[in-house]
Amino acid sequence: MTMGFEEITTHLKQRFPMLMVDRILEIELGKSIKALKNVTSNEIQFPGHFPGYPIMPGVLIVEAIGQCASILFSRTTGQGQHQGEVLVLGSISEMRFFVPVLPGHTMILDVTILKMMPGVALVEGIATVDGTMVAKGKLSFGRKVF
């Protein structure tokens, strides 16, 4: 199962400039998701991070992994997409950044569910560029009703 940009926006509450997933390449409900993020030079963070040597901020790589996890969780459980609820980040652990991500790169994001209970999940995310691991870590998140 794949998803294009329009369908992705129906599963995420984030919008420009915080939408970090361009396409879903594969999704196996309850197990894993593989997505693509095109890193372009006209993104809002690059003039300041860093002038003369633009690098994708690590926090935005984590955000991309989290958005993939949110799509996987909501597609699997049906939670987190309704009005008055949102999926929120609970923790980040063992997150490592290995290689800078630069404008022109295409990040592939692989997210696997490690544990899922009603309303919460723990996932592991790996980001790669051209087959090279650029970041890896674990995220937990839960459903918040407001």
- Count other Cβ atoms within 10 Å, centred on residue 129: 20
Q: Exposure string (b/e) for 65-96, b if CB count within 10 Å is 16 or more?
A: bbbbbbbbbbbbbebbbeeebbbeeeebeebe
| Cα–Cα distance for residue pair 144/100, rounded to 1 Å | 33
Assign 62 to helix, strand or coil. Answer: helix
Is residue 82 annotated as a catalytic residue, yes or no?
no
Any bridge partners for residue 136, and if so which? 96, 126
Residues marked as catalytic: 49
